[in-house]
Amino acid sequence: MDIRCLMNGLVATKKIREISKFSNLPIIALTASAGEDSREECLVWGDDHISKPIH
């Protein structure tokens, strides 16, 4: 899940989690923001995160 898409990825993830049949769907945030604050924010709603660029 890219957190910089038209709908903020964190908002989209929250909306997905609110649908019971998707509540356990694995979601990984993909972000160019590598800071600890971004990581923590991603982990609130998602399962993990990956910082760009990926080598």
pLDDT value of position 20: 93
Q: Give the HSE-up count for residue 30: Cα atoms under 13 Å, Cβ half-sphere.
A: 6
pLDDT digits (tens, 9 = 90+) for 6-29: 778 888 888 888 999 998 889 888
Spatial distance between the Cα atoms of 18 and 33, rounded to a whole number of angstroms: 25
Between 23 and 35, residue with greater pLDDT: 23
Please give the structure tokens belonging to residue 4.
């910089």
What residue segments make up the domains of the chain, in order of their start? 9-51
Segment 35-48 mean pLDDT: 76
Cβ neighbors of 6 (< 8 A, separation 6 or more) are none
Least confident interval from 2-6, 23-27, 38-42: 2-6
pLDDT value of position 3: 65
